[in-house]
Structure 1
Amino acid sequence: MHDDCDFCRIVAGDAAAARVHDGDRVIAFLDRRPATTGHTLVVPKQHGSELFEMDDRTTADVFRAVGTVKTAVDHVLDPIGVSVFYTTGSLVGTVEHAHVHLVPRFEDDDVTLSLLRDRLEDEDGERLGSRLRDV
């Protein structure tokens, strides 16, 4: 546990959170500053800023918990869909403890997760795809 980490304090039970899932390696709790009703953070209990640098079992458990929470959110809130996202690196924000956002979506919510799109040319796609497969 890192004493200066809000999520570690929640994991340890030293800080309050509205928990919606509590497993061996993962907890999920409602975001205190939700984008929509039911906005949930799915968090590994192990402290680390990068989910994909943790052991494979923890990473898999996080995404299994995302599915479990999504099922519960669907049942309780009946959203029209959900947005799930995870960010790494300096774009993470103010909490340096890996976490996945699950945001229920509703008609006329104010959530915007837009991506500016470009076009992938066939030749560029083949070249990049080959490089990725080689790794």
Structure 2
Amino acid sequence: MNDCKFCQTIEGERPVHVLCENESAVAFLDRNPAARGHTLVVPRAHHECLFTGDEPTVGAVFQTVQQVVRGMNRTLDPDGVSLFYTSGEIVGRVTHAHVHLLPRYADDRVHVALERGRLDDDAERLAARLRSECTVPAGE
């Protein structure tokens, strides 16, 4: 993926501030942070959707997420941490799967808001359908 900015970053072609890494994942400071310490955790292999990748890669990414959050808590003493992940074309310009970690403070200007609704009468049927699909092994 020569045109992927994150693949280029992982290959050392784009300078970043790496926080930690392992065989399958890398964590580095976001070049355009929404908050001080804003970090991206990415799989080394190019995946457009993290959750269609293999389980060891997903595990390595979230193990790295855990390491970074521990480091953030010790270094920055935030009031909390927001974690978010999106996939598909809605992600934006970078299609390489990535997890955002943002240290949060009561007085910060970060807005990660969801417009909320209520469960409707179809909730039980929806839950049953989702339950049945959640039990299907990966790759099927």
Specify if TM > 0.5: yes
2-structure distance, mates of 1:88, 1:11: 19
Matched with 1:35 is 34
How high is the sequence identity, in percent, across the aligned residues? 47
Runs of 5+ consecutive residues of structure 1 not aligned to the other structure: none
Aligned-partner SS, 2:89: helix
1-structure distance, mates of 2:5, 2:66: 24
AA aligned to 1:21 is C
Matched with 2:122 is 124
2-structure distance, mates of 1:94, 1:71: 29
TM-score, normalised via structure 1 length: 0.95
2-structure distance, mates of 1:36, 1:63: 21
Deviation at 1:107, TM superposition (A): 2.5
Deviation at 1:90, TM superposition (A): 1.3
Moved over 4 A (4+): none
Deviation at 1:53, TM superposition (A): 1.1
Matched with 2:50 is 51
2-structure distance, mates of 1:24, 1:15: 19
Deviation at 1:60, TM superposition (A): 1.1
TM-score, normalised via structure 2 length: 0.92
Residues 10-66 of structure 1 show CA distances to partners (whole Å, capped at 9, x for unaligned) of 111111000001111000000010000000000000012110111111011111111
Matched with 2:24 is 25
Matched with 1:11 is 10
Matched with 1:100 is 99
The number of residue pairs the alignment matches comes to 133
Runs of 5+ consecutive residues of structure 2 not aligned to the other structure: 134-140
- Give the RMSD, CA atoms, in angstroms: 0.9
2-structure distance, mates of 1:133, 1:105: 33
